[in-house]
Structure 1
Amino acid sequence: MQSGARGTAGAAIDGAVSLFEPVTLDELDGVLVDRLDTKYLLAAEAIPELLAALAGPYRVLDIDGERVHGYETVYFDTPAFDLYRAHHAGRPNRYKVRSRRYGTTGKAVLEVKQRMKRSRTVKRRMAMPGLVHVLDEPARSFIAEAIAGAPPATLVPRLECTFSRVTLADA
């Protein structure tokens, strides 16, 4: 995604991520599916200064020269939002089901993301031809296997969002 689409802060973010040494998707591939992570929501104007401070100890994901990556995501839940409620209640063992398309690569996956005790995150993915809005039988079987049980029968799309992000990794 080009900085113009993200406004003035986008250009400053592009400048800040240019200070980092790159890391490739192949280098991160195994690390990204089983990791400890922390996410922060910041005002766009605060990001360039923070990134500049992190440029030494971290590397930035670089895919074909792009360092700010777009995502499209569809989250599935029950009509009563049971999966969201488990997250909001802070249950130590919970999961979410989502379909995601990665803008930089164009790849799409159906993903089950499990949050285990002590902030460990484990992802299981199934390649898809595009962003999914309906869970067919192969998708339901994949979900059941990933969570070691039957998924709720009524998983439906509950939230769709698009965003851009920068991925940093320890140097």
Structure 2
Amino acid sequence: NNQWAISTPAHRQHAAPTFAHKALAHGLPGERVDGNDVLAMYQKTREAVDRARAGGGPTLIEAVTYRVVDHNTSDSAEVYRDQALAEHWKQFDPRPRFEAYLTTRSLFTDALREQYEVECLAEVQAAAARALALPRSDPMSMFDSQLFGDPGWALRLQQRELAAELNGANPFTSIDPEALA
């Protein structure tokens, strides 16, 4: 729960007092936790996993956090929300918060941070290299019949739009949707 449904406050999107309450309608336990607290999240997810493994079924965990940045690249959050609130939430960023917790207990040092940064960067670069080395797949394969029974008109339109774009045409002006009916 990042407290926003794109540009609308989440509390205006549903009648339940919290998302965790929604679990009741499905006969599930619902737990609400500070989503920016690494240890609280670990404890709550550990309890949920243990419960599930013991045959108790799933648990809905509402991790309460805040979206401090725009929803996407075409969004301007400053238009619909108070930037002071976003700035307030930045102090609860989980990474520096957990890092401070570990540092005050002498469990994390600048040297360890540098070591992890080097290791993580190497891991990301290796993963990117592996991904880039993979043979490119045919984008049209996403429409293979084993994925969809009857694709319907909307999916057929998307398939034709992609084929047109891959062939250099403008799919939004070169396809007649009426022909797909």
Structure number with the higher helix fraction is 2
> Structure 2-normalised TM-score?
0.19
- Which structure shows the bigger proportion of residues in strand conformation? 1
Q: Comparing both chains, which one has the higher relative contact order based on Cα–Cα distances under 8 Å and sequence gaps of 6 or more?
A: 1
